[in-house]
Amino acid sequence: MQNTTPNAKHSSQQTSQEMQQNAPQDTLHVVACIDGSRAAPAVCDYAAWASKYMDSPLTLLHVLDEERYPSEPDLAGNIGLGSREHLLDELAELDRKRSKLALEHGNHMLENAEQRVKQAGISDIKKRQRHGDLTESLLALQEQTRLLVMGLYGESSSDRDLRIGSQLETVIRSMSRPILLVPDNFSAPQSSMLAFDGSVTAFRGVEHLAASQVLKGMPLHLVMVGEESPEAMAQLRKAEAMLAPLEAEITLAIRSGEVEPVLHRYQDEHNIDLLVMGAYGHSKIRRFLLGSTTTNMLKTAKKPLVILR
Amino acid sequence: MVNTLKHQWLSNVRGDLLAGVVVALALIPEAIAFSIIAGVDPKVGLYASFCIAVIIAFVGGRPGMISAATGAMALLMVTLVKEHGLEYLMAATLLTGLIQLVAGYLKLGSLMRFVSRSVVTGFVNALAILIFMAQLPELTNVTWHVYALTAAGLGIIYLFPYIPKLGKVLPSPLVCIVGLTVVAFLFDIDVRTVGDMGDLPDTLPIFLWPDVPLNLETLMIILPYAIPLAAVGLLESMMTATIVDDLTDTESDRNRECKGQGIANIGSGLLGGMAGCAMIGQSIINIKSGGRGRLSTLFAGVFLMVLILVLDDFLVRIPMAALVAVMIMVSIGTFSWESIRNLKTHPLSSNIVMLVTVVVVVFTHNLALGVFAGVLLAALFFANKIGHYMGVDSALNEAEGTRTYTVTGQVFFSSSEKFVAAFDFREVVDKVVVDVSRAHFWDITAVAALDKVVIKFRREGAEVEVIGMNEASATIVDRFGVHDKPEGVDQLIGH
C-alpha cells in the first residue's frame, strides 16, 4: 500500500482497514436501510443489484427511530400522591403503544422489501429491526457491513429541492464503510466516475476505493477539475496505478471550470451512472462557514453516489 | 455532535416551552421560601434560580432536569449567613462550585453506584419532609386566615385540573397564586406577603466578586460549609438524574452533570446568588408537563426572571400562604408514597437503611449525612449477608487418622469468626488437611484466621496441611485486574 498518509493516526486507520479486508468476505453484508420513504423501492433494487454485483448476502434493516414525547401536553403542573410512580407507568404505557405500532409498520415495510428483493433473484436475505437512533444502529452493524445502501431522500424530508435525507450527513460522517446513496428510480449502473483533485484527501479516497473493491471491474472515469498541466496528469497517472487492483477500465480526464457544474456535465456527456466521492473532508465548523461540496453534490444528485470515508 | 446538540435543544420546542412556563411557577415559591430560611433576601434565591437554570441548560449532562436554588442546599447555609453574612455565602457558593467541578473531573459521579435504591428512597422522603418542615414557620402563630388561604390554595392545586379543558391548559399552581393574591387583595386580608420578606430583584443580576478577604481564615470559614453543600448538591442532582432517566427512558452523562452543577454554582456565586442543585419535584413537574430537552430548563430560568422583573408590583402582594400551598404540593409530590406500602414487602434490612437515612436527615438537616449513614449501613448489611455464604465441611479418614476440612465461599472480616469456629480443635487426629482451594480469602482478617487455625491444630499435636492456598490467597486483591476478561473471572470463581 502506498504511503501518502501524513501522520500516524491515519496509518492506524489503514491497519484497521487492512484487517477488515482480511476478514472473510462472506460474513460481510450489503445493508439496505428500509423506511417508509419514496426511495424505499429503489433502495431495494439497488441493494439487490449491489448484492449480486459483489456476491454478498443482503441485510434489510429498519430502524425504529421513534420520538418519545407526549403528544398532548398536560399543563396542570401539579404533583401529588405517588405522582412519580404514576408518571412512569403512564409514560411507559404510551411508549409501549407507540413502539408496538411502529414495530408492526416496520415489519410490514421489511416484508414488502423482502418480496421485492426476492423477485430480483436474491435468496440470502436477512431482515433486522433495531430500536434507537439510525446512526447508532448502523454503527452497531458496521462490523458486518460491506456496503450501506440508503435513499438520498429520507422519510421525513418531504421537499426534495431543499434538503437531503435528514440524517444522511450524520450517517456519512460516522460510518467508515462505503455508502451507496440512491435516487428514487433504479437503473443498473454500468460505469462510474471518481472526482479527483490531487489532494491528500483525494489520494486517500482513491486508496479507499481500491481497498474496498466495491466497484470491482466497473469502467471508471477519473476526472480532475482544473487547468491541464503535467503535474495534474502525473497525479492522475499515480491514482490510476493505485486503482489497479479493481481490474477496471480506467479513463483519465481533466476539465476546467466550476467543480459541480463541470462534474455534472461530464457525467451527462459520458452517461455515467455512479459518482464516487470522498465525503466531508473538512470540519463541521468549516462547513458551517463555507458550505460543503459534499452536501451540494448530494442535493443536486440525480444518479446514485458512492461515498467513501 | 452537532446533531445531538440540535436534538437536545430543538427536538421538542413546543413541549419544552410550555413545560418551562409551568416549571418557572414552581421555582419561584421554592426560591423565595428557602431564601427566607437561609436568612437572605428573596432576591438572592431568585437570582440563583435564574443563573443556575440558565447555565445548567447549556452545560448539564441531563436534558430535561431542572436545577435551581433548592431547599436542601439552603438548609445548610443558615448558620453561615447568621454568623458571617451574605458575602461569605457567595464565597462559599463559589467554592462549592469549584469542588463540584473538580468532582466532575475526578469522575466521582460514578460513585453513585454505591448508593442503593433504599438510600435513594430514604433521601427522597427525607427531602420531602424537609421541604414540608420548612413551611411550618409560615403556619405557626398566625391567624386563621393563613390556614384558610393555604387550604384553599391546596384545594385549587389538586381540584382545578379536574375542570374539563381549562384544567389541562392552565397550570393549577398559577391559578392558586393568582387566585389567592386577588382574594387577599380584594378583601384586604392582613396576611404576610412576599413583599414583607425582603428585597426582590429589580434588575438583571450583575457581576459581583464576593467582598471577602482572600486569605486562609476566609477559607477556613467557608470550607466547612462548601464541602457539605457540594456533596448534597451532587447527591440530589445524581438522584434526580436517575429519576429523570427512568421516566424518559434515556441515559444521562453523570460526570458532565457534576461539572455542570459546579459551573452553574460558580456562575450563581458570581452573580449574587446562592448555591443550588437539581430539584426532584420540579423535574417531575417538567417531565409531566411534556418538557424533555435543554430548552425547558433554559426557558424556566428566563421566564422566571421575566416574571419577576415585569410583575414585581404583583409579586410583592402574593400572600405567603399561596407559596406555602405550592411548596406543600412539591413536598407531597416528591415523597415516595410507594415506599410506605413497600415497607411490608421489602426485606427488613432495606427498610432499616431507608428509615435510618430519613431519620438522620431530619435530625441533622444535612442530606449528605443521611446518605452517608444509609450507604454505610447498607454496606454493613451486605457484608453480613455475604458472610453467610461460607461453609466448612469435614470428612474423617479413620484408617489414616486424617480429617479433611473443605472450606467453600467467602472468608473475610465478617465471616472469619464463623470460619474459625467451624474447626473442631478438641478432636484427636494425626493429620488435618484444610482444603481452601474453593474458598475466597478477601482480606488480611481472613488470612489471619487461617493462620490461627493452623497454629491451634499444631498446638494440639496434629500435622496440618493447607491445600490450594495459592489460589485462595490470590483473591486478596484490592482491585480485580480481570474485570474485563470473562475467563479471568471464571478462573477466580471456579478454582
Q: What is the ipTM of this complex?
A: 0.76
Q: Using the beta-carbon criterion (under 8 Å), do A70 and B290 form an inter-chain contact?
A: yes
| A69, A75, A168, A169, best to mutate vs chain B, most B CBs in 10 Å | A75
Based on the fold, state whether residues A305 and A286 are members of the same structural domain.
yes
* Nearest in space to B320 (alpha carbons), one of B195, B473, B208: B195
* Nearest in space to B368 (alpha carbons), one of B72, B9, B54, B169: B72
Q: Using the beta-carbon criterion (under 8 Å), do B172 and A78 form an inter-chain contact?
A: yes
Searching chain B, which residue's CA lies closest to the CA of residue A89?
A: B247
Specify if A18 maps to a domain.
no
Average of pLDDT values for A119-132? 84
- Which range is most confident: A184-193, A210-219, A252-261, B270-279? B270-279
H-type alpha helices, chain A: 8-22, 40-54, 83-119, 134-140, 168-174, 200-212, 230-242, 259-269, 284-290, 293-300
Of the candidates B3, B167, B333, which has its C-beta nearest A80's C-beta? B333
Residue B88 has pLDDT above 90, yes or no: yes
Based on the fold, state whether residues A184 and A94 are members of the same structural domain.
yes
pLDDT of the residue at B472: 60
Q: Which residue has the higher pLDDT, A261 or A6?
A: A261
Confidence of residue A1 (pLDDT cuts 50, 70, 90): very low
Confidence of residue B475 (pLDDT cuts 50, 70, 90): low
Q: What percent of chain B has pLDDT over 70?
A: 94
Q: Using the beta-carbon criterion (under 8 Å), do B288 and A80 form an inter-chain contact?
A: no
10 Å CB burial of residue A101 (0-12, 13-18, 19+) is exposed
- Smallest Cα distance from A53 to chain B, Å: 34
Sign of the four-CA dihedral B407, B413, B414, B420? positive
Average of pLDDT values for A146-165? 63
A66 contacts in B (CB within 8 Å)? Answer: none
Based on the fold, state whether residues B90 and B186 are members of the same structural domain.
yes
Nearest-angstrom CA–CA distance, B9 and B6: 5
Average of pLDDT values for A270-289? 67
- Smallest Cα distance from B487 to chain A, Å: 24
Least confident of A5-9, A100-104, B52-56, B235-239: A5-9
pLDDT digits (tens, 9 = 90+) for B196-254: 888 888 777 888 888 888 889 999 999 999 999 999 999 999 999 999 998 888 888 99
pLDDT of the residue at B369: 92
Domain end marker among A188, A214, A241: A188
Based on the fold, state whether residues B198 and B302 are members of the same structural domain.
yes
Q: Which residue has the higher pLDDT, B135 or A155?
A: B135
For residue A52, the domain's CATH number is 3.40.50.620
Q: What percent of chain B has pLDDT over 90?
A: 52
Average of pLDDT values for B6-24? 84
Q: Using the beta-carbon criterion (under 8 Å), do A68 and B285 form an inter-chain contact?
A: no
| β-bridge partners, B464 | B432
| A71, A74, A78, best to mutate vs chain B, most B CBs in 10 Å | A78
pLDDT digits (tens, 9 = 90+) for B432-454: 999 888 888 888 888 888 888 88
- Which range is most confident: A281-290, B8-17, B140-149, B219-228? B219-228
pLDDT of the residue at B352: 95
Over its C-alpha atoms, chain B yields an Rg (Å, rounded) of 29
pLDDT of the residue at A200: 76
3-state secondary structure B54-90: HHHHHHCCCCCCCEECCHHHHHHHHHHHHHHCHHHHH
User: What's this model's pTM, rounded to 2 decimal places?
Assistant: 0.76
pLDDT digits (tens, 9 = 90+) for B325-348: 999 999 999 998 889 999 999 999
A78 contacts in B (CB within 8 Å)? Answer: 157-158, 161, 171-173, 285, 329, 333
Residue A103 has pLDDT above 60, yes or no: yes
Based on the fold, state whether residues A230 and A182 are members of the same structural domain.
no
pLDDT of the residue at B471: 65
Specify if A81 maps to a domain.
no
Based on the fold, state whether residues A257 and A194 are members of the same structural domain.
yes
Nearest-angstrom CA–CA distance, B251 and B249: 7
| A74, A79, A134, A288, best to mutate vs chain B, most B CBs in 10 Å | A79
| β-bridge partners, B433 | B404, B465
Domain end marker among A172, A188, A204: A188
**B104 residue type, one letter:** G
pLDDT of the residue at B362: 92
For residue B396, the domain's CATH number is 3.30.750.24
A85 contacts in B (CB within 8 Å)? Answer: 336-338
**Residue carrying the nine cell digits 444522511:** A168
pLDDT of the residue at A285: 53
Q: Are B441 and B473 in contact (CB under 8 A)?
A: yes
Specify if B357 maps to a domain.
no
pLDDT of the residue at A145: 87
Q: Which residue has the higher pLDDT, B187 or A228?
A: B187
B338 contacts in A (CB within 8 Å)? Answer: 82, 85
Searching chain B, which residue's CA lies closest to the CA of residue A136?
A: B4
Specify if B225 maps to a domain.
yes
Residue-number span of the structural domain to which B426 is assigned: 388-494
Based on the fold, state whether residues A138 and A249 are members of the same structural domain.
no
Searching chain A, which residue's CA lies closest to the CA of residue B125?
A: A82
pLDDT of the residue at A254: 86
Q: How many CB pairs lie under 8 A apart between chains A and B?
A: 107
pLDDT digits (tens, 9 = 90+) for A173-230: 788 888 888 888 888 888 888 877 777 777 877 887 887 777 788 888 888 887 888 8
Specify if A160 maps to a domain.
yes
Based on the fold, state whether residues B52 and B148 are members of the same structural domain.
yes
Specify if B112 maps to a domain.
yes
Searching chain A, which residue's CA lies closest to the CA of residue B167?
A: A76
Based on the fold, state whether residues A99 and A196 are members of the same structural domain.
no
Nearest-angstrom CA–CA distance, B119 and B70: 20
Specify if B349 maps to a domain.
no
Of the candidates B12, B25, B246, which has its C-beta nearest A77's C-beta? B25
What's the structural domain count of chain B? 2
Count CA atoms within 13 Å of residue B441 on its CB side: 21
Based on the fold, state whether residues B336 and B451 are members of the same structural domain.
no
Specify if B90 maps to a domain.
yes
Searching chain A, which residue's CA lies closest to the CA of residue B285?
A: A77
Q: Are B42 and B310 in contact (CB under 8 A)?
A: no
Q: Using the beta-carbon criterion (under 8 Å), do A80 and B19 form an inter-chain contact?
A: no
pLDDT of the residue at B157: 92
Specify if A4 maps to a domain.
no
Residue-number span of the structural domain to which A36 is assigned: 27-69+87-188
Specify if B421 maps to a domain.
yes
| β-bridge partners, B392 | B407
Domain end marker among B341, B372, B406: B341
Residue B10 has pLDDT above 50, yes or no: yes
Based on the fold, state whether residues A37 and A123 are members of the same structural domain.
yes
Based on the fold, state whether residues A163 and A291 are members of the same structural domain.
no
Based on the fold, state whether residues B132 and B232 are members of the same structural domain.
yes
Residues 6+ positions from B116 with CB-CB distance below 8 Å: B350, B353, B374, B375, B378
Average of pLDDT values for A140-165? 68
* B249: region left, alpha or beta (phi > 0 left; psi from -120 to 50 alpha): left
- Smallest Cα distance from A208 to chain B, Å: 25
Specify if B70 maps to a domain.
yes
pLDDT of the residue at A165: 54
Confidence of residue A159 (pLDDT cuts 50, 70, 90): very low
Based on the fold, state whether residues B42 and B179 are members of the same structural domain.
yes
Residue A5 has pLDDT above 50, yes or no: no
Average of pLDDT values for B365-378? 93
pLDDT of the residue at A272: 87
Q: Are A150 and A165 in contact (CB under 8 A)?
A: yes
Specify if B155 maps to a domain.
yes
Confidence of residue A38 (pLDDT cuts 50, 70, 90): confident
Q: Which residue has the higher pLDDT, B8 or B104?
A: B104
Nearest-angstrom CA–CA distance, B374 and B115: 8
For B130, B157, B304, B367, the CA distances from B34, given in Å and listed in that order, are 11, 21, 16, 16
CB atoms within 10 A of CB A238: 15
Residue B404 has pLDDT above 80, yes or no: yes
Domain end marker among A168, A188, A208: A188
Based on the fold, state whether residues A267 and A281 are members of the same structural domain.
yes
Q: Using the beta-carbon criterion (under 8 Å), do A83 and B338 form an inter-chain contact?
A: no
